[in-house]
Amino acid sequence: MAGGVTGGGSATWSDRFEQGLHPAIERFNASIGFDITLLQEDLDGSIAHARMLANCGVIASDEAELLCTGLEQIRAEAEAGRFQPGLEDEDVHFAVERKLIALLGPVGKKLHTGRSRNDQVGTDLRLWLRRRLDELDPQIQGFQTALLKQARDHRSTLIPGYTHLQRAQPVCLAHHLLAYVEMLERDRQRLQDVRKRVNWSPLGAAALAGTPVPIDRRSTAQALGFDGIYANSLDAVSDRDFTVEFSAAASLLMVHLSRLAEEVIFWASEECGFVRLTDRCATGSSLMPQKKNPDVPELVRGKCGRVFGHLQGLLTMIKGLPLAYNKDFQEDKEALFDVVSTTKQCLEAMTILIEEGLSFRPDRLEAAVGSDFSNATDVADYLVARQVPFREAYQIVGAVVKQCLSEGLLLRDLSLERWQQFHPAIEVDLYEALAPRQVVAARTSEGGTGFTRVEEQLALWSERLGFTAQ
């Protein structure tokens, strides 16, 4: 019977049933509320499937044309806001099929030949994620470019470098920012690698075992831009590895965003004062009129929780599932959608934050690097260059620091005579070696913060990111 209205149910599968679904169970079961997100991909997959059925002689070519026209009409109606499936449609796949039947009559009923919702949903999800991956890649590059621009502007600015969040040695600010560009490059590579395993077609695996219908899986795979087809139909409909891989890669990307967010929060604190947040990216307090809050980086840091949570959720959802399809898989969608949208939103917000949300304060940075003992190692290196064994030099400088601390002095405040009491090899050129700018410049080992090394890296990244200064 048309539309399967026998018995109490209105669902596409309801002919076999005597009674309709309990309304609460209908709500519980339905995924249409969120899998409508897959509409474009569902239409694309169905169009490829219909053409293939005609090419294989399973349906007539004018039938395939009708199906494709109907599917495009659904796309147009959706764009115009006139395709609004309800709970009774259960999911996006049924919603489209029903609508097609409503539009075309009996021909519409031919579309689902030789496939099942199990291979269909897998196809849709992979197509959808592939598109999002192709958006993420340039988005990450855009963020890298924002960092690169700041780095180029701060090629000679210094900032304290920390270990254990204790002042360690001054570094070039560009060097610090380029560290994040490197992390993000690994994120890009990881996502490109995930894409390789996303891009396999499960279409035509049917429910779980393949189909006796003479279909051509390779032609739908090719039409949809997949690199190949799953070799095993059971694996095809029950593989969700790619959702885990993607969420893991996205989690690491979030880790990197969050670490930078944490640094910005620290830099913007009054205690530190290395950056000023611009009005475009900071918010005020409802109570304390003097406040300017770093909500953007705080939200990025906070949103890590949901992304890592989805990764855990997906792993747990999959781990006990026997072959092949299980309804548990329906739970993959909201997780994946949220990982994608959260990651993209955070990338966008952090890009804006770095581009126009903060300005570094060279005065504060200059004062910071000039007011501590982060040049102590350089005194030891100075002595080493004058044939003092490193461990001995280290001990001498330790004694100097102790003395200075007790007198409230910095290393540069000690007179040459007093320095020479600690070691006779010390000459007046020590003061130059102690200057923060010289401390940074001296670190010319490959990958180090020395200005010449940083310039090399700036040139390299400018080329890689196709950045040309206006």
State the residue for tokens 């099929």. 97
Binder to ligand ARG among 143, 180, 329, 419 (CB under 6 A)?
329
As a whole number of angstroms, the distance between CA 386 and CA 105 comes to 93
Using the Cα atoms of residue 41, residue 318, residue 255 and residue 189 in order, give the sign of their dihedral.
Answer: negative
As a whole number of angstroms, the distance between CA 176 and CA 147 comes to 10
Binder to ligand ARG among 180, 325, 419, 451 (CB under 6 A)?
325
Which residue stretch of 137-145, 266-274, 324-332, 427-435 sits at the interface with ligand ARG (rule: CB under 6 A)?
A: 324-332
Q: What value does the CA radius of gyration of the chain take, rounded to a whole number of Å?
A: 31
256 is catalytic: no
Number of residues that bind ligand ARG (CB under 6 A): 11
Which residue stretch of 126-134, 328-336, 346-354, 382-390 sits at the interface with ligand ARG (rule: CB under 6 A)?
A: 328-336
Q: For residues 243 and 449, which CB has a smaller minimum distance to ligand ARG in the complex? A: 243
Q: For residues 188 and 240, which CB has a smaller minimum distance to ligand ARG in the complex? A: 240
Q: For residues 256 and 333, which CB has a smaller minimum distance to ligand ARG in the complex? A: 333
117: contact with ligand ARG by CB under 6 A = yes
- In one-letter notation, the amino acid at residue 137 is D
- Residue span 416-435 as binding mask against ligand ARG, x where in contact by CB under 6 A, dash where not: --------------------
236: contact with ligand ARG by CB under 6 A = no
Binder to ligand ARG among 107, 121, 151, 203 (CB under 6 A)?
121
Q: For residues 31 and 123, which CB has a smaller minimum distance to ligand ARG in the complex? A: 31
- In one-letter notation, the amino acid at residue 376 is A
Q: How many helices (H) and strands (E) does the chain have?
A: 19, 6
285 is catalytic: yes
143: contact with ligand ARG by CB under 6 A = no
Distance set, CA 356 to CA 111, 214, 353, 359, 442 (Å): 51, 58, 6, 8, 32
Q: How far is the CB of 328 from ligand ARG (least distance, A)?
A: 9
Q: For residues 95 and 368, which CB has a smaller minimum distance to ligand ARG in the complex? A: 95
Given 164, 286, 406, 445, the catalytic residue? 164
Quote the tokens at residue 110: 């031919």
31: contact with ligand ARG by CB under 6 A = yes
- In one-letter notation, the amino acid at residue 121 is V
Which residue stretch of 15-23, 60-68, 105-113, 115-123 sits at the interface with ligand ARG (rule: CB under 6 A)?
A: 115-123
Contact 54, 60 (CB under 8 A): yes
Q: For residues 42 and 245, which CB has a smaller minimum distance to ligand ARG in the complex? A: 42
As a whole number of angstroms, the distance between CA 226 and CA 228 comes to 5
> Which three-class secondary structure state does DSSP give residue 172?
strand
Given 285, 341, 359, 371, the catalytic residue? 285
For strand 166-172 and strand 200-201, is the pairing parallel, antiparallel, or unpaired? unpaired
The dihedral region occupied by 204, where left means phi > 0, alpha psi between -120 and 50, and beta the remainder, is: left
Q: How far is the CB of 31 from ligand ARG (least distance, A)?
A: 4
Binder to ligand ARG among 55, 330, 377, 462 (CB under 6 A)?
330
CB atoms closer than 10 angstroms to residue 169 = 20
115: contact with ligand ARG by CB under 6 A = no
- In one-letter notation, the amino acid at residue 238 is S
Exposed e or buried b per residue across 112-149, where buried means at least 16 C-beta atoms within 10 angstroms of its C-beta: bebbbbbbbbbbbbbbbbbebbeebeebbbebbbbbbb
As a whole number of angstroms, the distance between CA 259 and CA 307 comes to 15
Helical spans, DSSP H, in 80-116: 92-104
79-98 binders of ligand ARG (CB under 6 A): 91
Cis peptide before 324 (omega within 30 of 0): yes
Q: How far is the CB of 117 from ligand ARG (least distance, A)?
A: 4
As a whole number of angstroms, the distance between CA 139 and CA 347 comes to 7
Binder to ligand ARG among 118, 220, 233, 457 (CB under 6 A)?
118
Which residue stretch of 45-53, 56-64, 217-225, 322-330 sits at the interface with ligand ARG (rule: CB under 6 A)?
A: 322-330
337: contact with ligand ARG by CB under 6 A = no
The footprint of ligand ARG (CB under 6 A) covers 31, 35, 91, 117-118, 121, 325, 327, 329-330, 333
Active-site amino acid positions: 164, 285
